[in-house]
A and B are shown apart, each in its own frame.
Chain A
């Protein structure tokens, strides 16, 4: 089982948990396992077309999966995935 860290705004849709344990051999499978446990998370992470929302960053340990093999990136049980909504703005 690998761990997914849930950011504070999304915990209300994940049984108020900060970390959820999931199964899977890839990032996509791990996220799919997360959504099957907590279906309310889907609309916050994915567009209606089923694509990850642009502001949702997925990190495998300390690496952005966009610069690995995206959602096809292989994962191990000792890995940690972090869901990190972007933080930006300006006047």
Chain B
């Protein structure tokens, strides 16, 4: 389960609207609780480095991630997930999303943005023990 404030949830969706028709992406900082609960403290925007195909691909520069991670650490927050948008496409994970997901135990939040308007936001936990059996599993989003 992903617990997130209404303001952070809105900010994620608004980011997808702003970058439409391109995919947006960002990092969720917060803390891991027991029983697979992740609590978002802040959603941090990141740039999409896939300028070759931004309408259907995203990539976060590791250097930017290190900076975000450092800032989070100073506030006692860890990386607990990521978000991106699917312009004119359902809020479901794609084969590419699974193949490129490597942060097991983290949340991958996807927002569908249709004609510039954020529609549905879903969250998926990357489960598994390694690259061979990883899978994205739908999880509840609780607004707090």
Interface size class of A (residues with CB under 8 A): 20 to 34
Instruction: Check: A86 CB closer than 8 A to any chain B CB.
Output: yes
Instruction: Give the interface of A toward B (CB within 8 A).
Output: 5, 7-9, 12, 18, 43-44, 53, 55, 57, 59, 62, 64, 82, 84-91
The distance from the CB of A20 to the nearest CB of chain B, in whole angstroms, is: 15
Residues from chain A with Cβ under 8 Å of B44 in the complex: none
List residues 35-51 of chain B with CB under 8 A from any CB of chain A: 50
Given contacts A7-B79, A8-B105, A9-B103, contact A86 B59 (CB under 8 A): yes
Residues from chain B with Cβ under 8 Å of A9 in the complex: 102-106
Of B69, B84, B89, which one neighbours A82 at CB under 8 angstroms? Answer: B69
Residues from chain A with Cβ under 8 Å of B25 in the complex: 87
List residues 62-118 of chain B with CB under 8 A from any CB of chain A: 62-63, 65-67, 69, 73, 78-80, 82, 84, 86-87, 89, 93-94, 96-106, 108
The distance from the CB of A55 to the nearest CB of chain B, in whole angstroms, is: 5
Of A43, A57, A62, A90, which one neighbours B57 at CB under 8 angstroms? Answer: A90
The distance from the CB of B35 to the nearest CB of chain A, in whole angstroms, is: 15
Query: A82 to B66, Cβ gap below 8 A?
Result: yes
Closest to B94 in A: A91
